[in-house]
């Protein structure tokens, strides 16, 4: 067959078939599975215990304590204690306690490879697509099945092709590309579909910045996201400890797609998602936020090393506005250490930033730094609906880490380009 999408090829491989058709129901063998404290043992341990079966392959399973960590109330402490006890009881080999956010650790620790079927109890498991894998979110109950059998059932989804052409202008990053497409497709525009990102724009982007695209696919209601791999991908994988041959799967030239979108990004401006929807997107020049009280550089979407470096470029030699708090939450311990070694972290702290734990933090609405009624925040995270980061009466703007940094200096949502051109 020569008319298959890469998604069809991955699911055919996972199900042991020569080919699969759109709409087929398949049972696929899982290559890697993740759970975290919020959607992990606390919710599924009893069902898991009832089955009386072992974890199918502990070498392919990653568990993190990243959502409730560090706890801010006793109920969160309980969730963490349950997670830690279960990890000890089951002799989980890859348990990471406040060492980073699950999706970033999954990539950094070499669990993701091109052609893999990856499952996880978090909507942003789509992040794996930047490494050529198919990352699919499942619930805690379904996770019990994966943990005990190593298999998952799926309906073969259609694919939406999104092509970015041209060179990213100064002051724009993967986050701006995500928001640009999200404005067109909307928050439910890819329901049970896969977003396939392509185009020469991706060639100049780092693997970390590409992850922003596949991670944000969850905000389109996408089942997953994926992109082709290249030399940068292979370099990232080798650094993560992946050895041996790396499988390369691509969509056929005449593959059938649900729909296609094409963007010329040569004139792209920094994009901002305004309250209270991720697809309420406009150029930063059109935003009149009024004073902001909180700026947040964090989450699996917006606190990778490149994000921190982009923010540091803007903040270098500047100070944040009076009355504003800038929270910096690196996405993993490795990212934190690298930012310390290359001086990035010093720039962020000297500008007035406050270093937070390498966990999900306020992005998941559970960590310290919660927004109060009437407060306005700009964040590099992925969601801005009411109550996401605290009070339902707070307002959240989403943007790149660079735009967050510029906004922290000005005290209102602001364009990073003026600081980058100085």
pLDDT at 86: 98
Long-range contacts of 227-232 (CB under 8 A, 24+ apart): 227/129, 227/130, 227/132, 227/196, 227/197, 227/198, 227/202, 228/6, 228/132, 228/198, 229/114, 229/131, 229/132, 230/203, 232/206, 232/207
H-assigned helices in 129-240: 140-149, 174-185, 207-216, 231-239
pLDDT at 126: 98
**Mean pLDDT computed over every residue of the chain:** 96
pLDDT tens-digit series, residues 298-336: 999 999 999 999 999 999 999 999 999 999 999 999 999
pLDDT at 49: 95
Tell me phi and psi for residue 72, to 5 degrees: -115, -5
Cα distances (angstroms) measured from residue 331 to each of 105, 145, 338, 362, 388? 9, 29, 12, 13, 18
Please state which of the four CATH numbers 3.30.499.10, 3.20.20.370, 3.40.50.150, 3.40.50.700 is assigned to the domain occupying 274-420: 3.30.499.10
Average pLDDT over residues 390-415: 97
pLDDT tens-digit series, residues 24-63: 999 999 999 999 999 999 999 999 999 999 999 999 999 9
At 281, list the tokens: 């997107």
Identify the CA nearest to 68 among candidates 57, 59, 77, 55: 77
Q: Is the dihedral of CA 21, 22, 27, 29 positive or negative?
A: positive
At 58, list the tokens: 């502990």
Q: What residue segments make up the domains of the chain, in order of their start?
A: 6-263, 274-420
d(C-alpha 114, C-alpha 376), whole Å: 40
Q: Do domains 6-263 and 274-420 have the same CATH topology?
A: yes
At 328, list the tokens: 């910096």
d(C-alpha 227, C-alpha 237), whole Å: 15
Range in 38-47, 216-225, 239-248, 281-290 the model is least confident about: 239-248
pLDDT at 364: 86
Res. 365: pLDDT tops 90: no
pLDDT at 361: 87
Q: What is the pTM of this model?
A: 0.95
d(C-alpha 288, C-alpha 247), whole Å: 48
CATH superfamily for domain 6-263: Aconitase, domain 3 (3.30.499.10)
pLDDT at 359: 93
DSSP 3-state assignment of 332?
A: strand
pLDDT at 2: 73
pLDDT tens-digit series, residues 113-162: 999 999 999 999 999 999 999 999 999 999 999 999 999 999 999 999 99
Question: Is residue 184 within 8 Å of 282, Cβ to Cβ?
Answer: no
Tell me phi and psi for residue 26, to 5 degrees: -130, 155
Average pLDDT over residues 95-116: 97
Tokens 């055919």 correspond to what residue?
Answer: 12
Tokens 């502990």 correspond to what residue?
Answer: 58
d(C-alpha 65, C-alpha 81), whole Å: 10
In this structure, the chain runs to a length of: 422
* Letter string b/e over residues 126-157, b meaning 16 or more CB atoms within 10 A of that residue's CB: bbbbbbbbbbbbbebeebbbbbbebbbebebb
Cα distances (angstroms) measured from residue 212 to each of 163, 227, 246, 418? 15, 12, 23, 24
pLDDT at 353: 98
pLDDT at 422: 55
pLDDT at 233: 96
d(C-alpha 281, C-alpha 283), whole Å: 7
pLDDT at 247: 83
What does DSSP say about strands 325-328 and 294-297: parallel, antiparallel, or unpaired? parallel
pLDDT at 33: 98
d(C-alpha 116, C-alpha 210), whole Å: 18
d(C-alpha 128, C-alpha 282), whole Å: 27
Range in 27-41, 155-169, 223-237, 242-256 the model is least confident about: 242-256
- What radius of gyration do the chain's Cα atoms show? 21
pLDDT at 23: 97
pLDDT at 1: 57
The residues near 384 (Cβ < 8 Å, ≥ 6 apart) are: 273, 275, 276, 277, 278, 396, 397, 398
Res. 105: pLDDT tops 70: yes
pLDDT at 367: 81
If you ran DSSP here, which 8-state letter would residue 18 be given?
Answer: S
């Amino acid at each position: 067959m020569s008319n298959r999408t890469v998604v069809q090829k991955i699911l055919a491989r996972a199900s042991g078939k020569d080919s699969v058709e759109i709409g087929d129901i398949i049972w696929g063998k899982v290559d890697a599975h993740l759970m975290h404290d919020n959607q992990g043992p606390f919710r599924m341990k009893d069902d898991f215990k009832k089955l009386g079966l072992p974890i199918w392959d502990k070498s392919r399973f990653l568990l993190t304590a990243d959502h409730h960590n560090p706890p801010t109330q006793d109920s969160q402490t309980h969730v963490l204690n349950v997670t830690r006890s279960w990890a000890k009881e089951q002799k989980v080999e890859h348990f990471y306690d406040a060492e980073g956010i699950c999706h970033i650790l999954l990539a950094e620790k070499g669990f993701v490879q091109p052609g893999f079927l990856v499952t996880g109890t978090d909507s942003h498991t789509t992040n794996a697509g930047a490494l050529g894998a198919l990352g699919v979110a499942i619930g805690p109950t379904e996770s019990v099945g994966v943990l005990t059998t190593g298999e998952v059932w799926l309906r073969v989804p259609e694919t939406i092709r999104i092509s970015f052409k041209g060179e990213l202008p100064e002051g724009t990053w993967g986050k701006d590309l995500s928001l640009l497409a999200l404005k067109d497709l909307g928050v439910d525009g890819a329901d049970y579909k896969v977003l396939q990102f392509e185009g020469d724009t991706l060639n100049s982007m780092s693997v970390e910045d590409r992850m922003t695209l596949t991670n944000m696919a969850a905000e389109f209601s996408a089942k997953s996201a994926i992109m082709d791999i290249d030399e940068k991908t292979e370099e990232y994988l080798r650094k993560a400890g992946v050895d041996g041959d790396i499988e390369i799967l691509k969509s056929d030239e005449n593959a059938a797609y649900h729909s296609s979108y094409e963007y010329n990004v040569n004139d792209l401006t920094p994009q901002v998602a305004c309250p209270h929807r991720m697809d309420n997107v406009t150029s930063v020049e059109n935003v009149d936020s009024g004073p902001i009280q909180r700026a947040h550089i964090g989450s699996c979407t917006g606190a990778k090393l490149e994000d921190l470096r982009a923010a540091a470029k803007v903040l270098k030699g500047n100070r944040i506005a009076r009355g504003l708090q800038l929270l910096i939450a690196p996405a993993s311990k490795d990212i934190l250490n690298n930012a310390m070694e290359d001086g990035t972290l010093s720039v962020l702290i000297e500008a007035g930033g406050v270093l937070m734990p390498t966990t999900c933090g306020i992005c998941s609405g559970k960590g310290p730094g919660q927004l109060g009624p009437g407060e306005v925040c700009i964040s590099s995270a992925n969601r801005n609906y009411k109550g996401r980061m605290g009070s339902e009466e707070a307002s959240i703007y989403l943007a790149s880490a660079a735009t967050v940094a510029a906004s922290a200096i000005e005290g209102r949502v602001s364009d990073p380009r003026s600081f980058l051109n100085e």
